[in-house]
Amino acid sequence: MDWNLIDKQHEFLRLLEKQGKSYNTVKNYKADLQCFNKFLVTKQEHLKIRSFSSVQVQEYAHYLDQKYSSSNSVRRRVQALRLFFDYLLGQDLFPENPLKKMAVSPKVLDLPEPTPFPEVLKNYRLLKDREKSHEGLTQLVHSRNVIIFHLIYGAGLKVSDLAELSFESILKDKANYRVLVEHPKRDPYSIPLPASFSDDFQFFQELRANYFKIQGMEINQLLFNANPYKILSGGLSPRGTELFFEELRRHLKTEITAKSLRQSCIFKWLNMSINHSTIKEWLGVTPNYSLELYLEEMKKDPSGLVFQDIEENDHE
């Protein structure tokens, strides 16, 4: 049976999408397979592959070790290729998975690197100042960015979670709000948002409704993608959120990322003495997920890792 490696990789990635894998996960698998393709071109100057011997497996392992200093990067690429060969095996294109016996280093957990609380406040105040000093679509975009900030630092959401939110995802809980998170493979759960979210959300909601009414637009997603002239689409991709953080880093000369801000939220919850099982539930991780690295960092520098909720007067 004649088949093309690139075509099979595309089929594999489409299967991952159908299985409900996130945009970021599929993108990472694609990058990992492209790494394998580059190895093939380097070794044999083409992408034809009808067999993959144990010798080639060891050559690929050496190639990865030379290319990446992080054992986690090597581990991820091996795992991606192993799953891809399982896919080929299932289609009777290979007699066995050649990577099944390939040894990789155990996963190493990176130490958390949260955005320091003074930097959290500085970034939030910048966003609020921008919101106040503009009008029209530009003001609406800045107001959207304030909401993104609250959802990550206030509720610990990942960028992939943000992309799926609708207006119905924001629930009123007595005086405050909660955000509803829904995943294809687990029961939905909600996370409380800080009191400061209320006024910012109501302002965003009113601003958004007025702008959409004037423009004759209807978008159900909470967030949106826009350029300086118009709203392009409903929903904001993980890449769109990362671009927002890239701009913050350039402007304030900080190291803030969506990941570091989310880690700040975890430290905040730990400082608030929230039950660890509850924190894991809000993070959307399994019960055996360990918070030990966070706890160890707090022991090293308890005063430097004191985070708290953004208060309503923190933008003044």
Task: Kindly report the average pLDDT of the chain as a whole number.
Answer: 87
5-90 CATH, one of 1.10.150, 3.90.1280, 3.10.20, 2.60.40 = 1.10.150
Where does 117-300 sit in CATH, by number? 1.10.443.10
Give pLDDT tens digits for 64-98: 888 877 777 788 888 888 888 888 888 888 888 87
What are 269-300's pLDDT values in tens digits? Answer: 999 999 999 999 999 888 888 899 999 989 88
pLDDT greater than 80 at residue 106 = no
Return the pLDDT at 66. 84
CA atoms of 197 and 298, how far apart (whole Å): 27
Greater model confidence, 124 or 70: 124
Reported confidence tier of residue 109, pLDDT bands at 50, 70, 90 = low
In this predicted model, what pLDDT tens digit does every residue of 219-275 receive, in sequence order?
Answer: 999 999 998 889 988 989 888 899 999 999 999 888 999 999 999 999 999 999 999
Task: Return the pLDDT at 314.
Answer: 66
314 CB-near residues (< 8 Å, 6+ apart): 121, 124, 125, 196
Check pLDDT > 80 for residue 2: no
Q: Domains of the chain: which residue ranges?
A: 5-90, 117-300
User: Do the Cβ atoms of 305 and 297 come closer than 8 Å?
Assistant: yes
Give the C-alpha separation, 309 to 193, whole Å. 9
Buried b (16+ CB within 10 A) or exposed e, 218-238: eeebbbbbbeeeebeeebbbb
What's the DSSP call for residue 225? E
Relative to beta strand 224-226, strand 231-234 is antiparallel
> Can you tell me the mean pLDDT for 10-27?
84
CB within 8 Å of 152: residues ≥ 6 apart = 162, 258, 261, 262, 265
196 has pLDDT over 70:
yes
Question: 108-117, 135-144, 155-164: which range is least confident on average?
Answer: 108-117
pLDDT mean over 192-209: 95
For the sheet containing 170-173, what is the strand order? Answer: 170-173, 176-183, 186-192
> What are the tens digits of pLDDT across the range 149-167?
999 999 999 998 998 899 9
Instruction: Report d(CA 250, CA 255) in Å as an integer.
Output: 9
At residue 108, does pLDDT exceed 60? no
